[in-house]
């Protein structure tokens, strides 16, 4: 299995599982990733996802240079092969995703992490977009997400020069949320995910949607979107439960409806 997919209570765990290939994504694992993401998106019982890599060397080296990239560059086919829809491109998921970066996140591996909402990395791992070394460019959103998340000069250095940065520098420039010792990575990611699960899931998803869609809107358009999403929560059970629990001085019991 190129992707291990597990569900525990309200959490979904995705493990990129090709450690012999630095967890590079080949066509079969990309299809498995898509199927797992669809189940996560559509399953009302899971509220937060965590994505990590198998082993200690890599989170993911990105698209498999032996099996995936040649298929995408095949000149003998009339239409280039496209990977199945995923969180990097083509698949919208408003449930929160946490990237637990256990090793190097290079190329498409970094793009997987950039497509998540929160990023936690172990100490001393490298993150980079080296595609120009092979006369390519990032193809899973790196040219678009990285300049939106990192300072423009640093994003240009990483994309145009193919340079990588350490997790410590990524934290300093705000590209990731936290750096932790290796033995604390999954515990920290799970703790963060469980913290989100204590909040109103419909509110969290609406907030994520407002943030993501608002990036492409003017301020006035974004404010209208925010109002629309706020109004969409008015008649949900959870929106009634939250203020009621606050008034009664007890923890809310959210149900996701």
pTM as predicted: 0.92
- Quote the CA–CA distance of 102 and 58 in Å, as a whole number: 6
- Contact by Cβ (8 Å): 230, 202: no
Residues 184, 207, single domain; the answer is no
First to last CA, the chain: 34
pLDDT digits (tens, 9 = 90+) for 107-132: 999 999 999 999 999 999 999 999 99
Report pLDDT for 5.
Answer: 97
In a domain, 208, yes or no: yes
Q: Give me the catalytic one of 32, 131, 157, 226.
A: 131
What residue numbers bound the domain in which 107 lies?
A: 3-197
Domain count, the chain: 2
The model's pLDDT over 10-27, given as tens digits with 9 standing for 90+, comes to: 999 999 999 999 999 998
257 within some domain: no
69, part of any domain: yes
Per-residue pLDDT tens over the stretch 149-180: 999 999 999 999 999 999 999 999 999 999 99
9 carries an active-site annotation: no
**CATH number for the domain that contains residue 208:** 1.10.12
- Residue 69 pLDDT grade (very low, low, confident, very high; cuts 50, 70, 90): low
Catalytic residue (choose from 9, 20, 45, 111): 111
Give yes or no: residues 57 and 139 share one domain.
yes
Q: Give dist(CA 63, CA 85) in Å, integer.
A: 14
Q: Could you confirm whether 220 is annotated as catalytic? A: no
Same-domain pairing of 22 and 105: yes
Instruction: Report if residue 255 sits inside a domain.
Output: no
In a shared domain, residues 98 and 26: yes
């Amino acid at each position: 299995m190129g992707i291990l997919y597990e569900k525990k209570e309200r959490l979904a765990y995705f493990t990129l599982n090709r450690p012999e290939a630095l967890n590079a994504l080949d066509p079969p694992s990309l299809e498995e990733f898509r199927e797992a993401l669809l189940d996560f998106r559509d399953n009302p019982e899971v509220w937060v996802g965590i994505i990590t890599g198998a082993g200690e060397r890599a989170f993911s080296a990105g698209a498999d240079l032996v099996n995936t990239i040649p298929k995408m560059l095949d000149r003998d086919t009339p239409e280039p092969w496209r990977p199945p829809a995923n969180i990097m491109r083509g698949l919208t998921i408003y449930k929160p995703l946490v990237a637990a970066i256990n090793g190097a996140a290079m190329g498409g591996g970094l793009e997987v992490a950039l497509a998540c909402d929160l990023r936690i990395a172990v100490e001393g791992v490298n993150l980079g977009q080296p595609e120009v070394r092979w006369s390519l460019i990032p193809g899973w959103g790196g040219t678009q997400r990285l300049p939106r998340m990192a300072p423009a000069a640093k994003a240009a250095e990483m994309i145009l020069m193919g340079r990588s940065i350490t997790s410590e520098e990524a934290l300093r420039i705000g590209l990731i949320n936290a750096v932790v010792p290796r033995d604390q990575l999954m515990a920290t990611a799970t703790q963060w995910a469980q913290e989100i699960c204590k909040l109103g899931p419909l509110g969290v998803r609406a907030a994520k949607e407002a943030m993501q869609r608002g990036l492409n809107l003017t301020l006035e358009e974004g404010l209208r979107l925010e109002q629309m999403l706020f109004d969409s929560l008015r008649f949900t059970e959870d929106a009634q439960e939250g203020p009621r629990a606050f008034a009664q001085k007890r923890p809310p019991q959210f149900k996701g409806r």
